[in-house]
Structure formats: structure tokens, C-alpha cells
């Protein structure tokens, strides 16, 4: 069922697709996405894929990527534009995937419209479908406080990165890398942030997966201990600032990729 946000994107489908066609994903963003989502076998779910450009980009890198979105016209467009890909019309609030069935999830600016008091439940749902040791990469708007703003499509929320990371931890994800781009980094008039996180514990449907002690780290990666099934129990937040990219933008193998920035961001 299409919810309010899906309807809002459906109503704006044409200009949104046009924006995606004419803007480019920041090189730092694309590098972070590739660094974390191309390294392991298994399905990568592009949750809130919009017109499907990042799904297609991951597929061009031999990743078994599936796109999923709640806006029917965006999914129709993705299917028509990338016929070899798989695109699903569904909501991140209720994923049509079994427990522990995907290796990784890309939530690229698709959590920005989730009201803060509903974010935990959505993150737990993402966690539910992920394999032990799976990776989540999320892009969102950085802010000094959790606060709504007038996004061009519908209300979105700024998130302080530390707060977003804490929400991830509560839902069973441990941050492994973060990137915060300053305002003058070339795209739009808002601050952009991204976090890569790894699942912790075994996870279980409908409840947070976190188990075992949690240590907040020092910015250095440290070894993790594991259960026999390979899941981490002793977790470390190892945030690191990515190096400045040599170029502002990056052109993908299949032409332009874009994120929701510039006018819309
Ligand atoms: C800002 S756009 C980002 C699209 C794409 N990831 C990109 O980087 O261009 C947010 C996307 O999330 C989708 N979305 C929002 N809420 C969703 C939900 N509950 N389930 C699935 N997709 C959702 C919207 O339809 C829209 O395509």
C-alpha cells in the first residue's frame, strides 16, 4: 500500500526522475557506498531506491542488487530503464523478505522522511532481513538537532550523526565508518552525512538484535570477538573521517548517478 510519503514521491515522480538524471552522486558518497557494498557476496537491498540508479550502479559492479521503493511510478521507471534489474514495490516498514536473507542494505536518503519516533521500528525491520555480519549504509541530512524541515517532496528530518548512530546501535547495528561533508563540499545547501554499520548479535524478528557488551571506541578499528556463527558480540564504534575526495563529482560506468541533493536536498 502506498503511504503518504510514497504518494508524495509518486506525485513528484517526473521532476524527481529528471533531477536524478541531471545531477551526480558526490564522489565521496559513491566511494563509501562501493567500499562497503561491493565487498561481500549476497544480495544488497537498495531500500528506497527511487528511480533505481544506485541499484543499477551496484549491478554494474557485479553486485546482486535489488531495488525497493514505495512509490509506484518510481518503480515503474526503474523497471523500464533498467530491465535486467529487479525492482520491488514495497515499504521499508514491512519488507517482503525473509529474516536474515540479505547481505547488505543501502538506505540512501530513504530514512529522511521517517518521523523520529518511528525510526527505531524501521531500523529493526531492516535489521530483521539482514544476515549476521551484514552491512547497512545510510545517507541522511546532518543537523545540530533532530528537526523537521521543508523538503521539496515532503517533510524530512535533520539528524545529528551521533544520534543517528545511537539509534542504529539500539536496533542492532554498530557504526564502522562515518562521513560528514561540510556545507561547501559542492552539493546543495544542506550538510550531508553517511554512516556504514555492521549488524551485531544474531538478531530476531521484531526486536533489536544487540547482545553482549558495547564499548565505544577511540576512532581506531579494533578486533571484534565472534560467536561460533560469526556474529559479533564485543563491538567497537570505529568512526573515521574519510579523506577529502580529489574531485567533487563522479561519473559512474553507466552515466550519471545522483542523490537527492542540490535544489531538492
Ligand atoms: C530522497 S529519495 C532517495 C532516492 C534514492 N535512494 C536516491 O539516492 O536518489 C527517498 C526515497 O525513499 C523512498 N521511500 C520513502 N519512504 C519509503 C518507504 N516507507 N518504503 C520504501 N521507500 C520509501 C521514496 O519513495 C524515495 O524514492
pLDDT at 230 over 90: no
Asked whether residue 244 is assigned to any structural domain, the reply reads: no
For atom 9 of ligand 1, which residue has the closest CA?
259
Please give the Cα distance from 149 to 217 (Å, whole number). 32
Instruction: For residue 27, tell me if it sits in a domain.
Output: yes
* Residue 96 located in a structural domain: yes
Confidence check: pLDDT of 222 > 90: no
Q: Is residue 257 part of a domain?
A: no
- Picking from 50-64, 103-117, 151-165, 238-252, which range would have the lowest pLDDT averaged per residue? 238-252
Is the pLDDT score of 42 beyond 70? yes
DSSP annotation of 197 reads E
Domain annotation covers residue 256: no
* Res. 45: pLDDT tops 70: yes
Which residue in the block uniquely carries the three cell numbers 518510481? Answer: 74
Mention every residue, 6+ apart, whose C-beta is less than 8 A from residue 122.
Answer: 92, 93, 111, 114
pLDDT for 189 equals 80
Cβ–ligand 1 distance for 50 under 6 Å, the answer yes
| Per-residue pLDDT at 27 | 93
Mutate to test the pocket of ligand 1, among 79, 110, 123, 192 (most ligand atoms within 8 A of CB): 110
Within 13 Å, how many C-alpha atoms sit on residue 72's CB side?
6
Number of domains forming the structure of the chain: 1
- C-alpha 211 – ligand 1 centre gap (Å): 30
**52-75 mean pLDDT:** 97
pLDDT of residue 204 exceeding 70:
no
Nearest to 162 by CA among 189, 129, 182, 140: 140
Answering whether pTM is above 0.75, one says: yes
Res 17: pLDDT: 95
| Structural domain of 155 | 4-236
Residue 113 clears pLDDT 50, i.e. is over it: yes
Of 9-13, 113-117, 189-193, 231-235, the range with the lowest mean pLDDT is: 231-235
Q: Is residue 246 part of a domain?
A: no
52 CB within 6 A, ligand 1: no
Residue 185: CATH number of its domain: 3.40.50.150
pLDDT, mean over the chain: 80
pLDDT score for 246? 29
- Assigned domain for 247 exists: no
Confidence band (pLDDT; 50, 70, 90) for 187? low
> What is the Å distance from ligand 1's center to 177 Cα?
22
Amino acid at each position: 500500500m502506498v503511504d503518504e510519503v510514497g504518494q508524495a514521491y509518486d506525485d513528484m515522480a517526473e521532476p524527481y526522475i529528471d533531477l536524478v538524471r541531471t545531477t551526480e552522486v558526490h564522489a565521496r558518497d559513491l566511494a563509501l557506498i562501493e567500499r562497503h557494498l561491493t565487498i561481500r557476496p549476497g544480495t544488497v537491498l537498495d531500500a528506497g531506491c527511487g528511480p533505481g540508479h544506485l541499484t543499477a550502479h551496484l549491478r554494474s559492479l557485479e553486485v546482486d542488487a535489488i531495488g525497493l521503493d514505495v512509490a509506484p511510478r518510481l518503480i515503474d521507471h526503474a523497471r523500464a530503464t533498467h530491465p535486467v534489474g529487479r525492482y520491488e514495490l514495497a515499504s521499508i516498514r514491512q519488507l517482503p523478505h525473509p529474516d536474515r536473507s540479505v547481505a547488505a542494505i543501502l538506505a540512501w536518503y530513504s530514512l529522511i522522511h521517517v518521523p523520529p519516533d518511528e525510526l527505531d521500528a524501521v531500523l529493526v525491520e531492516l535489521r530483521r532481513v539482514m544476515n549476521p555480519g551484514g552491512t547497512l549504509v545510510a545517507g541522511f541530512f546532518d543537523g545540530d538537532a533532530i528537526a523537521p524541515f521543508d523538503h521539496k517532496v515532503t517533510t524530512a528530518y535533520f539528524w545529528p550523526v551521533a544520534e543517528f548512530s545511537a539509534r542504529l546501535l539500539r536496533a542492532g547495528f554498530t557504526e564502522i565508518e562515518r562521513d560528514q561533508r561540510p556545507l561547501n563540499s559542492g552539493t546543495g545547501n544542506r550538510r550531508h552525512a553517511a554512516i556504514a554499520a555492521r549488524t551485531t548479535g544474531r538478531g530476531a524478528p521484531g526486536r533489536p538484535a544487540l547482545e553482549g557488551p558495547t564499548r565505544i571506541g577511540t576512532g581506531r578499528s579494533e578486533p571484534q570477538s565472534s560467536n561460533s556463527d560469526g556474529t559479533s558480540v564485543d563491538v567497537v564504534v570505529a568512526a573515521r573521517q574519510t579523506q577529502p575526495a580529489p574531485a567533487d563529482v563522479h561519473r559512474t560506468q553507466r552515466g550519471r548517478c545522483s542523490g537527492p541533493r542540490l535544489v531538492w536536498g
